[in-house]
Amino acid sequence: MKKLYIETYGCQMNFADSEVVASILKDTFDLTKTIEEADLILINTCSIRDKAEQRIHKRLTELEALKKHHHGLQIGLLGCMAERMKEELLATEPVLDFIAGPDAYRSLPELIEKSSEGETQFNVLLSTDETYDDVMPVRYDTNGISAYISIMRGCNNFCSYCVVPYTRGRERSRDPKTILAEAEDLIQKGFKEVTLLGQNVNSYHWQENGVTVSFARLMEMVAQLSPTLRVRFATSHPKDISDELLETMARYDNICKYIHLPVQSGSNQVLKKMNRVYTREYYLERVRKIRELMPDCAISTDIIAGFCGETLEDHLQTLSIMREVGYEYAYMFKYSERGGTMSAKRFKDDIPDEEKTRRLEEIIALQGELSHESNLRDVGKTFTILVEGVSKRSPEYLYGRNSQNKVIIFPKENHQIGEYIEVTVTRCTPATLFA
C-alpha cells in the first residue's frame, strides 16, 4: 500500500479532523511517521492569526525541496487556510496537488486520484450538515488514554475578529447516538478520557422525534457510560454556559472540574466591538456561579491584546478581570487582523505593534503570577490523577493530570500509564506541580 504522512496545525478540532481524514483514506494508504517515505503528504492548516498562515507558507517551501527528489509524491493542503485562500494558494503554491476544505474530506480519494493525472484539484465547498458522524476516526497519534470526540462543527457567533465562521461554516451538531457509540468504542479499547470538541460546544443541540438533547444532557449521557471514563469539553462560549450545564458538571465526579471560558477582553466597550454579546458583569456573574456550584473548578481563558481602538483604560480592565477571576491558565494573543472579517471591514487596526507587544507582555506576566499563586494553593492538597505518560525530564518520573487539568509529576515506582492514582502535591514551580 502507498504511504500517507499527515501534519496538523491549529486547534484540537483540526487534530480530530486529521483522524477522520486518516479513516477516510485507510483502505488506500498506510500511515507513516517518516515523511521521507510518504507517497502523499497532507498538511492540515489553521488561519486563526497571520503567524499561523506564515508558518504554513514556510513549511510548503520546505516541502518543495522534498518533492523535487521524490518523483510521484503528492502534497495536499487541508483545513481552514484551504477555505480562506484557495485562489491565492492555487496561484502561489505550485507545490500543491490539491486543496480540500474542512467539509470536503469525503472527496479526498477523488481529489487524490484526479490530481495524480496532473491537474491541481480543489474542493472547498462548505456544508450545512456534514458532521462525519459515521466515520470512526483512526487514532494514529495517541497515548491510548485520552481521545477527542468531535460533537459539532462550525460557528455562528461571528466575533468580529474571527475567521472561523468563514472557514468552518455554519454550526451543526452531530447525532448523539454516533457520539455515544464512538465513546463506547474508546472505552472498549481501554481509553480513560474523552474530550468533547467543538468551537462552541455548549451550543450543541440535537432534536429528533420531539426529543431535544442539550449539551448538558449529552455530557451526562457520556459520563454515565462508565464512572472511570473522564469527560472533558472544549471550547465553551460564555453566553451559553448555562446553570443546567454547571449543575450537570457538579453532579458527576467523572466530569472534569475544568472550564475553558475565553473572555478575550475585560472592557465592555471592546467586548461590544468584538461582538462577544456578553458584558464584563455577566461574565463575572457566570464565574461566581461556577465557584458556587464547584468550588474546586479550574478556569482558563483566551485573551486578545491590542484589539482595534483598545485604550489603555480598556487594557487595564483586562488585567483587572484576570485578577478578579484568578485564572489557572490563559492563552494570550496579539490581535491579528484577518481579511474578510467584520473588524477588518469596519475598524482600524490602530494599535502599533510595539504597543500590542507591550500590553501582551503585561498580560503574560500577570498570568504567570496568577498561575503560580494557583499552584501554590495546591501544595499540600491530594488529587486523583490519571497517569498519562513518562516525564520529559526523567524516565524515573511519570506525569498525570488532575480533574482541574493540571499536570502533576511524581516518582514512577510501580505505577502504570492509564492508571488512576491519588497523589499529594509536595512542591511547585510557577508552571508545574510535583507530588
Q: Which is nearer to ligand SF4, 200 or 300 (CB)?
A: 200
Let me know: does 293 contact 247? Beta carbons within 8 Å. Answer: yes
10 Å CB burial of residue 346 (0-12, 13-18, 19+) is exposed
Kindly state the smallest distance separating residue 50's Cβ from ligand SAH, in Å. Answer: 8
Place of cell 498519562: 388
For residue 235, whether the previous peptide bond is cis, meaning omega lies within 30 degrees of 0, is yes
Does residue 161 interact with ligand SAH by CB under 6 A? yes
Rounded Cα gap, residues 211 and 318, in angstroms: 41
What string marks each residue from 234 to 253 as x (binds ligand SF4 by CB under 6 A) or -?
---x----------------
> Is beta strand 298-305 parallel, antiparallel or unpaired with respect to 329-334?
parallel
Q: Rounded to the nearest whole angstrom, what is the least distance from the CB of residue 393 to ligand SF4 in the complex?
A: 35
Q: What is the DSSP string of 331-372?
A: EEEE----TTSHHHHHS---S-HHHHHHHHHHHHHHHHHHHH
Verify binding: residue 403, ligand SAH, rule CB under 6 A: no
Determine contact, residues 7/59, Cβ cutoff 8 Å. Answer: yes
Number of residues located near ligand SF4, criterion CB under 6 A: 10
Beta strands in 200-316 (DSSP E): 205-208, 211-214, 230-234, 258-260, 298-305
Residue window 346-365: x/- pattern of binding to ligand SF4, with contact defined by CB under 6 A: --------------------
DSSP state of 37: G
Q: Which does 22 bind (CB under 5 to 8 A by kind): ligand SAH, ligand F3S, ligand SF4, none?
A: none
Q: Which of 237, 273, 286, 356 binds ligand SAH (CB under 6 A)?
A: 237
Cβ 223 vs Cβ 252: under 8 Å = yes
List the one residue from 115, 195, 199, 265 that touches ligand SF4 (CB under 6 A): 199
Enter the DSSP assignment of 175: P
Nearest to 48 by CA among 88, 12, 73: 12
CA dist list (Å): 373 to 158, 196, 367: 35, 29, 10
Question: Which residue, 22 or 263, has its beta carbon nearer to ligand SF4?
Answer: 263
Instruction: Tell me: does residue 200 bind ligand SF4 (CB under 6 A).
Output: yes
Is residue 315 a contact point for ligand SAH (CB under 6 A)?
A: no
User: By CB under 6 A, is residue 265 in contact with ligand SAH?
Assistant: no
DSSP secondary structure letter of residue 199? T
Footprint of ligand F3S on 5-24 (CB under 6 A): 10-11, 13-14
Largest CA distance in the chain: 64
Smaller CB distance to ligand SF4: residue 201 or 249? 201
Q: Which stretch binds ligand SAH (CB under 6 A): 211-219, 328-336, 350-358, 409-417?
A: 328-336
Strand 98-100 and strand 121-123: the pairing is parallel
**Nearest Cα residue to 11 out of 187, 158, 192, 200:** 200
Using CB under 6 A, pick the residue from 164, 216, 229, 241 that binds ligand SF4.
164
- Least Å distance, CB 277 to ligand SAH, is 11
| Span 337-356, contacts to ligand SAH by CB under 6 A | 338
Single residue of 48, 259, 299, 330 touching ligand F3S by CB under 6 A: 48
Q: Which does 165 bind (CB under 5 to 8 A by kind): ligand SF4, ligand SAH, ligand F3S, none?
A: ligand SF4
Q: Which does 76 bind (CB under 5 to 8 A by kind): ligand F3S, ligand SF4, ligand SAH, none?
A: none
Residues that bind ligand F3S (CB under 6 A): 10-11, 13-14, 46-48, 79-80, 163-164, 167-168
